[in-house]
Copies of this chain bind each other. A is one copy, B any other.
Amino acid sequence: MGLDHIGFDYANAMAEAIGRENGINENELSKFAEGEGKKAAMALAQAQAAGSLAFADAPFDREMAEESKSLAEELHGKYENVVIIGIGGSALGCTTIHSALLHPMHNFMSHDERGGHPRWFVLDNVDPDITSALIEHLDLSKALFVITSKSGGTPETMANFAVVHERLVNLLGKSEAASRFVMITDPEKGFLRELVKRVGLHSLPIPTKLGGRFSVLCSVGMFPAALCGIDIEAFLAGARKMVELSLNATNPMESPANLAAMVYYLADTQKGKNINVMFPYSSRLTAFSDWFVQLWGESLGKEKNRAGEVISVGPTPLPAIGATDQHSQNQLFMEGPADKVITFIDVERFGSEVLIPDDFKSDPGIGYLAGHTLTELIRTEKLGTELALKERKRPTCSITLPHIDAEVMGQLLMMFMLATAFSGELYNINAFIQPGVDLGKKITKERLSAQ
């Protein structure tokens, strides 16, 4: 199996480290893996063989990769700004990738510093202040708009599209305006696809069986990434590595994704840890935490029938960021109710190195910082928090990234999509639907239609 993939360290979630009240017993975990775990793994393997695990097939889709790269190449250098219009899964994956992999000051760089790649913006709400600020202050004549909606009829996305489209038509005329859109939508049906057929716009397909929150590895995430110069081949290779590792594992304990799912499930159902904190020690992974929140919450927060009774299941995902949230949420994690399992993400090598100079070496309070690097500081802070939580008998897990690049991010995102699907089997719910949101949409539509 080698060591060239990220792993999942769960030692500090176990009874051996933090006691039986809060920790999982190692033997019970092994037994669970042999029983429920193997059953879940088999169910997923069957689903994949039957072609219904679309997200795990996505990184193997050569046609998708080629199409995304070739359209990105065709449009390269032509635009100063790209605006992704989408909401939920149609925005979060893209934001995660760009935040993690583009230079943190990308949007403040010149055209040449950016390598001719566009600045990027995401319009993922219908807040009139934001939409209006963007269309008033961005140079629209140099902007490309990527409209992402699986159904082709998401109200928020369609509203922003209509607003932007009208502006562009007024500014550039109908046919030139049409060239400024890339539609990422269902290959056959829906309003956007019909528009593509009628007007002849740039477009890329979203595989029919692929739901929004699992769509990051198809054109939804890969085209905007390629457009901004991210190596999507490396990204997809990382994702494939994780798929192979998981779906070929004879024991679910050998797959980091399945192992994580089992630890979280037992922490929730046996130890009452129904809040999953995602706590990366890297500002570039802030959006990753938000992506995880949607993936985990929307997939696992479900009603189900058990012995004729309707019950609600699903852990609540909570985003955090280290070291920052040591000054914000850590007091609650340390002294508040023992209802959380925390997952740290630790980065071994950052893209830059910064030395703390020794100007205040003689100060008794902070002199100890002098001569260390920021990497040493942030990683030691993670370790300090981890050990302190262990001392308090609060369960934590840890994922170590060798560095943050496209290949590692591909592994990480696929790991959590696989863990989510595996958890769906453990909770015995359908992780791929979201029936709970329909009622609110219906009420909204009725009210607006009546006015």
Q: Which residues of chain B have C-beta atoms less than 8 A from A275's C-beta?
A: 275, 316
Residue interface mask A348-368, B partner, CB < 8 A = 1: 001111111101100101101
Interface size of A by Cβ–Cβ distance < 8 Å?
128
A375 to B159, CA, bound (A): 11
Looking at the complex, which one of B163, B302, B337, B376 makes contact with A354 (CB distance below 8 Å)? B163
Q: Is the CB of A314 within 8 A of B336?
A: yes
Q: Is the CB of B125 within 8 A of A283?
A: yes
A250 to B326, CA, bound (A): 38
Among the stretches A59-67, A84-92, A256-264, the one at the interface with B is: A84-92
Q: Is the CB of A155 within 8 A of B369?
A: yes
Interface of chain A residues 119 through 148 with chain B (CB within 8 A): 124-134, 136-138
A318 CB–B CB distance under 8 Å = yes
Q: Assuming A191-B365, A336-B312, A369-B159, is B377 touching A126 (CB within 8 A)?
A: yes
A11 CB–B CB distance under 8 Å = no
A57 CB–B CB distance under 8 Å = no
Whole-angstrom distance between the Cβ of A4 and the nearest chain B Cβ: 23
Whole-angstrom distance between the Cβ of A332 and the nearest chain B Cβ: 3
Q: Is the CB of B434 within 8 A of A283?
A: no
Whole-angstrom distance between the Cβ of A81 and the nearest chain B Cβ: 10
Q: Which residues of chain B have C-beta atoms less than 8 A from A307's C-beta?
A: none
A147 to B113, CA, bound (A): 30
Residue interface mask A309-323, B partner, CB < 8 A = 1: 000111010110111
Interface of chain A residues 279 through 328 with chain B (CB within 8 A): 281-284, 290, 293-294, 297-298, 300-303, 312-314, 316, 318-319, 321-324, 326-328
Q: Which residues of chain B have C-beta atoms less than 8 A from A293's C-beta?
A: 328-329
Q: Is the CB of B374 within 8 A of A126?
A: yes
A329 to B18, CA, bound (A): 31
Among the stretches A23-31, A32-40, A100-108, A219-227, the one at the interface with B is: A100-108
Of the listed residues A129, A153, A275, A391, the one surrounded by the most CB atoms of chain B closer than 10 A to its CB is A129
A437 CB–B CB distance under 8 Å = yes
Whole-angstrom distance between the Cβ of A429 and the nearest chain B Cβ: 9
* 6 chain-A/chain-B pairs, Cβ below 8 angstroms: A128-B374, A300-B332, A301-B334, A301-B336, A381-B440, A383-B447
